[in-house]
Structure formats: C-alpha cells, structure tokens
Structure 1
Amino acid sequence: MDTGITGRTAAEIAGSLRTLVERGALRPGDALPSVRALAETLGVNRNTAVAAYRQLTQAGVVVTRGRGGTRVAESAPVAQEGFAADSVLRDVGTGNPDPDLIPRLTGVLDRVAGRPVLYGEPVIDPALESWAREWMSGALAPDDMRLTITSGAADAVERLLAQALNRDDAVALEDPCFLPSIHTVRLAGYRPVAVPVDAEGMTVDGLRSALEQGVRAVILTPRAQNPTGASLSAGRAAALRDVLGDHPFVLIIEDDHFSALARTELHSVIGPQHRRWAVIRSVSKFLGPDMCLAVTASDPDTADALATRLTPGTTWVSHLLQRLTHALMTDEQVLAGIEGARTHYADRNTAFADRLAARGLPAEVRDGLNLWVPLGAPAAEVSAGLMRRGWLARTGDEFVLDGEASTHLRLTVHQLDDADADQLADDLAAAVTTAGSRAQR
C-alpha cells in the first residue's frame, strides 16, 4: 500500500502521517498499513512502527481496532465539563456549582483595582502571596515550599507536565478520571496509565502497577475525586506514600480542587523526602469558573521550571484577578457563603441519594458537587431512557480510561427542587428497570 508515509524514527513516521492527514491525502476512516507492512516498507524495526502508531493513537489521529486494523480517526466532539450545547433536555450532568452560591463582585472591583501593574513587577501579587502561603500550608508545609499562580487547575497541570515530561512518557491517571486531565495527557502525546479508584481513592495495587510500567508523573485527587467523589483515607494515603517512597523523582500532582468546600480531611500522598511534587488548589468551585485562578505549592525545582513558563506580560495571571481573589477569600461574608454552599451541596446530594435508596438504587454520598450512581445496567442505555423522559445525564463512559462500558451515571442534582428531584428519581428507576430487562433478554 503506497500511502506516502515516510520516516526512519517513530517521531518522523508519526509526523509524516499527521501531515498527510492534515493535507487531506489521508481522510477519516482510511485504512493504514499493518505494523508489519509499514515496517517492511520503510525498512525499520517493527517496534518503531508500533511506537509511531501509539503516538498517533494517543493524539487521537488514528484508531486501532484489533483485527479491524488501524484507521485514520473520525472527527468527534470531545467531552467537556459544563452544560451540553443545543439541548432542550433538563441537564443534570453539568458538574457546575450553583450560580446563586457564587459571591457577587459588585462593590469589590472598585476596592481592588488600585494602580496598574507594569512589566517587570512580581508575578504574584504580594497580598495574595501572603494569604496563599497560609492557605497552602494547610495542605502541605515543608520548609522549601514555593508558590506559583496559574490560570486555573487545568493550566497548572498542563504546565507541570510540560516542564517534566517528553512526548510518549507515561502518566498515571485515576480511572475513572477528571475530563480535563484525560484531555491534557492525550492531546500532549503522553501515555495514560489507568489506576483504579475505589471508595478510598487511588488504589495501592493500581499505583504500584503503574510505577512498574515506568510512569514519570502521577495525577491524583486527594478528596472529592471527580467523578466518583472519593477521598483518600488516612490509611490509604499512608500506603500510597510507602509505594511512592521508592520513586522520589516521579512527579506527584495533587489536585485539591474542592478544598474550601470539602467536608473530608485532607490526606496527602507526598512524603517528606519526595523530590518532585505539586499541590494545586483552584478557586473555581467556590468563587465561580470565571475566576480562573489556581495556587500551586511545589518543590523549588518544579517552581523554577514553572516560573520560566509564566513570563511577566505574556502568560502571567492578571493582578486584578489576583487582588479580587484575595479580597473575596478574606471577606467574612464571602467565607460564610462558602460555608453555606458546602452544607447545601452535601444536603442536596444526601437527600437525592435517599430518594434513590427508597427506589432500590443505593448510591453512596461522598464529597463534591456530584453523585456517582451505580446502576447495575449499561449507563448508555439508562441515559437514553432518561433522555426519552426529558433528562440529560452524563454517563461514566466519558470518564473511563480502560474502554469498558460503564454502569455509572454522574449526576449534578443540587439545583433541583424537591418536586424535580422526585421526578428524576422516578424516571431514573424506570430507566434502570427497562435497561435491565433488555440485558436479560
């Protein structure tokens, strides 16, 4: 098969094939040579061809279908957090905070604007840095802790991986996993290694297996894991620290995204002797997604590498946004509102879980904005049943890495009133019954 693919190394072959796809010489659905045929045609080792296809698969350029061979990937929308576009259905899969519980900025902006900030000034606003150091010390307080400000947690994760990894390096991810972490790893060409998550967070055996596969970074959520809501127990965190103790230079990234709203105690997997680490806390869940700011505490070497990617005047985080964050997070009324939001999310999730239990669908209430609901039936079928009843839910299939069909839904129910919550619970129970009956035929 003469496809025009050239190259001697995996990177050259992958680049050649990507160029052919971009120029339209290869189109979505087109079959590609087998690994053996490609290696023979180019005169390279079979492993080189395997590596080239693996790079392209991770980047979403090609798909491998076993005996069906390797083909150019069809363009498909990437799952994102937030409201689904162009839907008339009641959306209960958004993962959004309640807008009524997000602090209003009226009256604060005039107070924080101050004088303009110019090129060459400190990247971190001094007042925010002082507050953030105390805030992050509650997560981790080694003497050499350094702070970095980024445009949200996803931005921090992307920058942390970029300064530590090369393309095709392996990264351990929770499975099921937070959507932005999945996209960041795959689009950058890193190799995701799935680590199962249970009720106590990332599993010990799963992490041990990932380290044996040579992962160079581990991304985990210590509490309110999205989508499952799991939080690390003290025992699980200690066991994970023991496993990581033999790998002090593997980059550990802890994303404590739900920090100010979390009901569970924080237990870190970062040991005192670990050399490469970062703890991220964003403000989007309690100050709103538009407050795109995160604080990262890290070791000095990691902080220095991040600093080179945050040059003043190009990619720094707006000082106006920094001052606004500081003003809100030191305002007693705002802090009281955050405390109220914590109670609201927990109470509404608990109330809905009670509704499901009364209908024979037990769901464990953990932490976070959402409920992770086990169905005992294929999530895709249950979701389709809910759509016919006017609801749009998010299936677990969007969060899994292992490719197996999910039997969970992630539901965002905290904005439903009692009548709507009752209706959703009834409709969900009916959809599960219908899907289960089909599976038994």
Structure 2
Amino acid sequence: MLNVVHGDIPDETSDAIGGGSANEIAASIRRRIERGDLDTGAVLPPVRALAERLGVNRNTVVAAYRQLAQAGLVASRGRGGTVVAGAAPAPQEGFAQGSVLRDIGTGNPDPDLIPDPSRALAAVVGRPVLYGEPVIDRGLDAWATAWLGEALDPALAFRLTVTSGASDAIDRLLSQTLTRDDPVALEDPCFLSSLNTVRLGGYRPVAVPVDAEGMTVAGLRAALAAGVRAVVCTPRAQNPTGASLSPRRAAELREVLADHPYVLVIEDDHYSLLSTQPYHSLIGTGHRRFALVRSVSKFLGPDMCLAITASDPDTAERLALRLSPGTTWVSHLLQRLTHALLADDTVHAGIRRASAHYARRNDAFAALLAEHGIDADVGDGLNVWVALPVGARAVCEQLMRRGWLARPGDEFILADTGAARRLRLTVHDLSDADARRLASDLAAAIEAADLKKAG
C-alpha cells in the first residue's frame, strides 16, 4: 500500500491515477482513497502536472477534483494543494451532542410553544390506508391547496406533493431536475440543510449574496449567466440572516427570471405561519418550473417531519416518481394529525403567540447587545445574526470559556468572507438574567479575542 505523505508528491501517486474524462479521473482517485492507497492528508498531483501526464485539458482535471470535493473526499488547501479529506461531519442544525456548555446555536423552536397533539391524536386514527390509495390525505389536500394557492400567482397551475420535511422535498426536487456537477444557485450565507443537500448531491453550489432585502439581483443575474439550472431561495426569515424579500426586490428578481422560465425555482418558506413578514414570491406568472415548499417543523415541532410542496404539474409528476421507488407516501396518520392541528383555531392562536414571542425576545436581546456597542440583525425567524469586529471562531473560543456554545457564521458561507465575522445565536428561550449575562459575556469575549489577535 502506498502511503502518501504531506509535502512533495511521489511520482507513483500521479502514475497510479488514470482516465481521459473528469468522471474517469475522479473515479480512479476515489478507488485509491477507498482502498486506502491514499491516506487522509495525502496531497494530490497539481492540476497542470496531472493534465500533462494524462494528455487531457487542464479543465478536465479541475472538474475531476471538483467532483471529489463536492463528495467530501478531497479539500483544497490553497497553496498547500488539494488533499484527501478526513471524515468530517458537516454542520447540522440542533443541539451539540455531549456538550456541558449552554448551547445558543441550536436553531430550535421553543418546545413550550409547540402545540400539544394529545387531543388531536385521538381523532386521527381511522381505517388503515393500503397500497394504491391516494397518497395525500383528503382533508390535508383541501386545506393545503387553499393555503399554498393563496401564496402563488392565480394564473399558475400547480399540484401538491407531501414529503418527509422540507429537506426531503428539496433533495428530491433537485435530483429529478439535475445531474452531477450541475450548478445550483444558493443564498450566501445559506441555510445549513440546503447547503449540505447540494454538496452531498454532487451539485455545484453558486453563491448569490443576501442583503437586508433578501437574495440580490446582481447575484441572481450572475448565477443565471453561470448556467444554474435551479435556484433555492428563502423568501422570508432567511436562515441565518433573518432577511425577507421586499416587494420591490421580489419584483426585480421575477424580472430577471422571466428570461429563464425553465430554471427550477424552489422557494423554501420554512417559517410560514410564524412569520411576521408578508410573503413575496420569485415565481412569476409565466414561470414553467417552480416549487413552493412549506414544512410544519418550526410551528408544529421538528418531529412532525412533513412538508407540503406546490409545484407545476410536470415537476409534481417527476417528484411523485422520485417518491415511488422508496417511501411512496408520508404516513396518513401524520398527515391527519397535521391537518387536525392546522384546522384548529386554538392552535393557530398559539402559533401567533409563538411568533410574537420569538420576535419580542430577539428584539430585546439585540437591544442588550446595542448597549455594549454590538450590532445585530434581528429580521424574522428564530435567530439573531450578530456582527463582530473580529473573527467569529476566536469569539466562540472565548465564549466557551464563559460557559456558552455559539455557532460561527462561517459554517453558513459559500463565498462571502464577511460572514466569518458573524455569529448566529438562538436566544429566544433565555431568561432575562441569562440574556443580560450573555450580552455581557459576548462583549468580554470580543475584547479578549481582539487583545489575543493584537498580541
């Protein structure tokens, strides 16, 4: 077995790699990694050198390395070259396992504000559903058709699909549209689940910057010029920034997309019923490939793994085919429970109270930060997006010494280095005293990180 070490690249490493196309070169390197011939940290041959030996264009090797990077098998180290990556799990939403620190990076809703399903559960048990029956429960179908229909342009024809959450829907939507290495426009910074879905699917993420009004026009125009075949956008409560599309921005984005009617536009309206902002859509009257995805996880709880998608008939048909080889439908018991809760006025009143609570607590925490001279974007959603004068990783290290586990902004970025000086904090469940202590500790952590950098 050849154990490749850091530093100079042995000739036999390059000689053992074969292929005349990007796919063949990537497959050759993948086989050597899987057999253990290339250890973690092994340096791959420089692009130019490998291209010359194989007699292929330099861009062919670039594409092969990009495939491997998207699969998580290699990583670029700049001047250090491209190296074999170790098993590093991608950042995920939720609690950090095994930590004794107070976790303020979870992105979770408050469990005390999630409706109790006990009363509704007794009413949803009925006749068993068998193979070949309609996959969408009749009651949920009628309720969701009205709910999503009011958000879309009346001229747009659509069909509903039910999946096991928004991430499941987006994964299946992309897989029925794209092939490996196809470019996908993603917001930058980006929701962790969407970013992981695109990377693990082998697609090529194209960064579209986000500002206070959502996805930028110039960024979308550049992504379309780069040939993206799909656009994933969060129209409101963008995670992590909290930004929501303004009416003006949405109209400008629709105008840009008007020349690209067959690019699949996926809108992930994850916050929907909790949002304090109106819904403004990228999907124009004449757009041919679209999907509006609304999950129930934020207001009915993450364990209610259900999302409803309204998409054009052709996309809906393809999405249904993607469901058929495996999980043909989402449990009708879960669908009935979801409908029973969403049709209950008491539950809706509770969701409105939860929405006001999240907004009020986030605003209050931003005010505490302002007292310490720290800026934060509250926007809409469960989190606060905090601006820092120094690197977020250094501040997180200082916060850990004070008992806090925060989430640095660079976990969400594709290309925008500005997010490396951001924190995404989930603080709505902190008591007033804990919120004041966190604001004070954050100010101290920034000062300590700044002094360490200067020293």
TM over 0.5: yes
Contact 1:150–1:156 (8 Å) recurs in 2: yes
Q: Identify the residue that residue 180 of structure 2 maps to in structure 1.
A: 167
Counterpart pick for 1:425 among 425, 431, 439 = 439
Aligned partners of 2:170 and 2:266 also within 8 Å:
yes
The answer to whether the 8 A contact 1:123-1:312 is kept is: no
Aligned-residue offset at 1:434 = 2.1
SS of the residue aligned with 2:259? Answer: coil
- Alpha-carbon shift at residue 377 of structure 1 (Å): 1.6
Choose which of 150, 157, 160 in structure 2 pairs with 1:138.
Answer: 150
Match status 1:412 vs 2:412: no
Tell me if 1:84 matches 2:109.
Answer: no
Distance in 1, matches of 2:392 and 2:79, equals 27
Q: Is residue 90–residue 392 contact of structure 1 (8 Å, CA) maintained in 2? A: yes
Letter in 1 for 2:450: G
Q: Give the drift of 1:312.
A: 8.4
Question: Aligned partner of 1:409: which letter?
Answer: L
- Secondary structure of the residue that 1:424 maps to in structure 2? helix
Question: Does structure 1 residue 435 correspond to structure 2 residue 449?
Answer: yes
Distance 1:55 1:106 in 2: 48
The answer on whether the counterparts of 1:119 and 1:313 sit within 8 Å (CA) in structure 2 is no
Find the counterpart in structure 1 of residue 119 from structure 2. 107
On the 8 A contact 2:390/2:446 being kept in 1, the answer is: yes
Q: 1: distance between equivalents of 2:106 and 2:81?
A: 36
Moved more, 369-378 or 34-43: 34-43
1:72 paired to 2:84 = yes
- What CA distance in whole angstroms lies between the structure 1 residues aligned with 2:40 and 2:451? 37
Of residues 72-81 and 89-98 in structure 1, the stretch that sits farther from structure 2 once superposed is: 72-81
Q: Give the number of equivalent residue pairs.
A: 441
1:18 aligns with 2:27: no
Aligned counterpart, 2:68: 56
Q: C-alpha displacement at 1:137, in angstroms? A: 1.4
Larger deviation, residues 422-431 vs 138-147 = 138-147
Select the residue among 44, 47, 50 that pairs with 1:32: 44
Question: How far apart in 1 are the matches of 2:113 and 2:413?
Answer: 30
Deviation string 1:18-75 (CA, Å, 9 cap, x unpaired) is 1211121111111111222222333322222121111111221111223222211122
**Structure 1, unaligned stretches of length 5 or more?**
none
Report percent identity of matched pairs: 66
* 1:380 and 2:393 aligned: yes
Which residue identity does 1:31 align to in structure 2?
Answer: V
Aligned partner of 1:212 among 213, 225, 228: 225
Check conservation: 1:220, 1:254, Cα contact below 8 A: yes
User: Residue 191 of structure 2 aligns with which residue?
Assistant: 178
**Amino acid of the residue matched to residue 334 of structure 1?**
V
Q: Which residue of 2 aligns with 1:98?
A: 110
1:148 maps onto 2:158 in alignment: no
What's 1:127 paired with?
Answer: 139
Deviation at 1:256, TM superposition (A): 0.3
Cα-to-partner distance string for 1:347-385 (whole Å, 9 max, x where unaligned)? 111111111111211323210000001112211111111
- The equivalent position to 2:381 in structure 1, one of 368, 391, 408, is 368
* SS of residue matched to 1:36: helix
Q: Which residue identity is paired with 1:22?
A: E
In structure 1, give the amino acid aligned to 2:29: L
CA distance in 2, matches of 1:171, 1:313: 25
* Cα distance in 2 for residues equivalent to 1:6 and 1:319: 51
Unaligned runs of 5+ in 2: 1-10
Residues 1:279 and 2:263 aligned together: no
Closer/same/farther in 2, CA of residues 20 and 403 from structure 1, 3 Å limit: farther
- Checking the alignment, whether the CA contact within 8 Å between 2:188 and 2:416 is kept in structure 1 is no
TM (normalized to structure 1)? 0.97
* Compared CA separation, residues 326 and 164, structure 1 to 2 (3 A): same
Give the one of 4, 12, 15 matched to 1:2.
12
TM-superposed deviation, 1:313: 7.2
Distance of aligned partners of 1:70 and 1:403 in 2 relative to their CA distance in 1, 3 Å threshold: farther
1:299-318 equivalent positions in 2, closer than 5 A? 299-311=312-324, 314-318=327-331
Summarize deviations over 1:280-320 as a string: whole Å, max 9, x none. 00000000000000011111111110010122873321111
Measured at CA, do residues 387 and 269 of structure 1 come closer, stay the same or move farther in structure 2, by a change above 3 Å? same
User: What amino acid does structure 2 have at the position aligned with 1:41?
Assistant: R
Deviations along 1:364-411, one digit per CA (max 9) or x if unpaired, are: 321000000111221111111111100001010100111736111101
Go from structure 1 to structure 2 and tell me whether the alpha carbon gap of 1:318 and 1:146 turns closer, same or farther (over 3 Å shift).
Answer: same
Q: 1:37 to 1:313 in 2, by over 3 A?
A: closer
